[in-house]
Amino acid sequence: MIVIEKYNDSLHNPYWKFQLGPEAYEIKDTPMRVEAIKKVLREDKRFKFVTAREFPERYIAKIHPYHDYIKKTAASMKEGEEFYPDLFPGEGAHLPKVVDSPLWGGIWCTDAVTPITQKTYDVARASAETALTGAEMLRDHKQNRVYALCRPSGHHAGPRVFGGYCYFNNAATAAEYLLPSGTVAIVDLDFHHGNGTQEFFQEVKSVFTASIHCDPSIEYPYFWGYADEKGKGQAVGTNHNEPLPKKTELHEYLKAVGRIVEKIRAYQPAFLIIAAGFDTHEDDPIGGFNLHTHDYFEIGKAFSLLNIPTLICQEGGYNTATVGECVKNFLLAFEK
């Protein structure tokens, strides 16, 4: 399988996040995640690494209204600085037409766990270009299954705001690129609901979105990901959520997978994008399901049997001792 990579991942390595009160927590989304995955995949000759190509920034900017804000704010940062918004204006706020100052970050960012550093824009853009390169390979029939090693993740970044460690939505950017060539299904397998991806396409009937995740009544992102969210307007019925309790094991997880697979078969998309998070592992520091390392082959096989051109975009997975093997097992399920 082709593995697409790009960027010096260590360029984006923020230290703090501010969550659940004034205490600062160390961020788990470190460059070591990607290095752990690379190490395992490079040791297996069935994986071939290629470098993502550069795309015009319009492919990212056209669906992310905060693109210029992230770019300009990153350019204004000094080396070692981390910027967090501290004011999140609500309804009725008087907002200026042009927002150039980092101090206005609360308009575009949902939280204080997604800082901007000097290299954030470069790395986030490269992450999106990794997904775009994979989408291009599918569109041009050069590959049928491709893995995009994206970091930062993207599924919490939406059409209004970014957050949750995510700056640009990699899966959504790839889907927009593919839509002129056919309909798309996006399945999110991260422990946390892909709220940004859902919001991008909740009124777009040419994209089917689905997510298996922890019950949002007890887990981030809290306000999205419930079973009654089915899509809106002409797209009602093209969104499907499978919120599951903590400690869910493979047997119950596969039932949710099966329900989504059947919906994808009925939808008959031209392309499948899997936003693959591995924080569903039993030992993940910010996860909470009881999935084991070897379980990911069986999960991957269920989607592989759909036999749809598939782009797999890396999302979460924060245990560097296990994430590489989890990714490998999932990807091997797509090998013919």
Structure tokens at 211: 């997510």
What confidence score (pLDDT) does residue 56 get? 97
What confidence score (pLDDT) does residue 30 get? 76
* Interval 112-135 mean pLDDT: 94
The phi and psi torsions of 200 (rounded to 5 degrees) equal -55, -40
What confidence score (pLDDT) does residue 22 get? 47
List the single range of 93-102, 117-126, 165-174, 317-326 with lowest mean pLDDT. 93-102
Name the percent of the chain lying above pLDDT 70: 91
Going by the DSSP 8-state scheme, the letter that residue 132 receives in this structure is H
Question: What band does 16 get if pLDDT is binned at 50, 70 and 90?
Answer: low
Query: Who wins on pLDDT, 281 or 99?
Result: 281
Question: What band does 26 get if pLDDT is binned at 50, 70 and 90?
Answer: low
* Interval 41-45 mean pLDDT: 96
Q: Of the residues 64, 67, 156, 240, which is catalytic?
A: 156
* Interval 190-203 mean pLDDT: 97
Each domain of the chain, given as residue ranges in start order, spans: 2-64+127-332
Report the relative pairing of strands 207-214 and 24-26 from DSSP bridges.
unpaired
Q: Where are the alpha helices (DSSP H) in the chain?
A: 31-42, 58-61, 67-76, 120-139, 170-178, 195-201, 250-267, 295-304, 323-332
String of DSSP letters for 164-210: TTBSS-HHHHHHHHHGGGS-EEEEE-SSS--HHHHHHHTT-TTEEEE
Residue 26 has a CB neighbour count (10 Å cut-off) of 9
In the CATH scheme, what is the code of domain 2-64+127-332? Answer: 3.40.800.20
What confidence score (pLDDT) does residue 9 get? 57
What confidence score (pLDDT) does residue 10 get? 62
- Indicate the Cα dihedral angle 68, 74, 76, 82, nearest 10°: 140
Mean pLDDT, the chain, whole residue set? 91
156 catalytic per annotation: yes
3-state secondary structure of 106: helix
Question: What band does 6 get if pLDDT is binned at 50, 70 and 90?
Answer: confident
* Interval 168-183 mean pLDDT: 98
String of DSSP letters for 251-274: HHHHHHHHHHHHHHHHH--SEEEE
